[in-house]
Structures are given as structure tokens and as C-alpha cells.
Amino acid sequence: MTNRPQMKTTEQARRIVDLWQERPRWQRTAEHLLPFYGWLLEHEPAVVPSGPGSILKVSTILSAHLLYGSVSRSDSCRVRS
């Protein structure tokens, strides 16, 4: 059992979404969900839902925030004119 500080479910979800949206657009696809989950476990363990199926819980939280289609790295590097 880990000694993680407890967060409310809504606080966890908000923090997960905030961290996800801070990533470059090209890193907010379903393909990047598993690496992001690993990053959360290492850097923000308090926001990872406890219990079995935590990856599925994170996936569900982020489902509305996943980008689909062709998102390139250049989408994150727009040049302002």
C-alpha cells in the first residue's frame, strides 16, 4: 500500500486534464496515453486513481480531450506574424 495523499475524485480528474492539456498537441493522442500514464505515476502519483484499472480510469477522464486525426509536431509550433 502506498502512502499517497488522498485527493477528491473531481480534483484528480481536473489535475489530470490540466496536465494533459499542457502537453504539445501532437502528444495528446490516444497513442500517447500510456506514456502519459507512466509519467503521472512517476511525477504526480497523487492524481492517479487508486485501485485496479487506474489506467482505464485515466483513459476515461481524458477521453473527451484526446485529439484524433493527423496532428503534427508543427501544430504545436505555430509562428505568430
Q: Digits of tens for pLDDT over the chain (81 positions)?
A: 455 556 789 999 999 999 999 999 999 999 999 999 999 999 999 999 998 999 999 999 999 999 987 665 555 454 444
Instruction: Report the pLDDT value the prediction gives residue 79, as an integer from 0 to 100.
Output: 41
Q: CA torsion 5→27→22→35, rounded to 10°?
A: 10
Nearest to 27 by CA among 72, 77, 78: 72
Instruction: Report the pLDDT value the prediction gives residue 81, as an integer from 0 to 100.
Output: 40
Letter for the amino acid at 59?
Answer: S
- Rounded to two decimals, the pTM is 0.78
Instruction: Report the pLDDT value the prediction gives residue 7, as an integer from 0 to 100.
Output: 76
Distance CA 15, CA 7 (A): 10
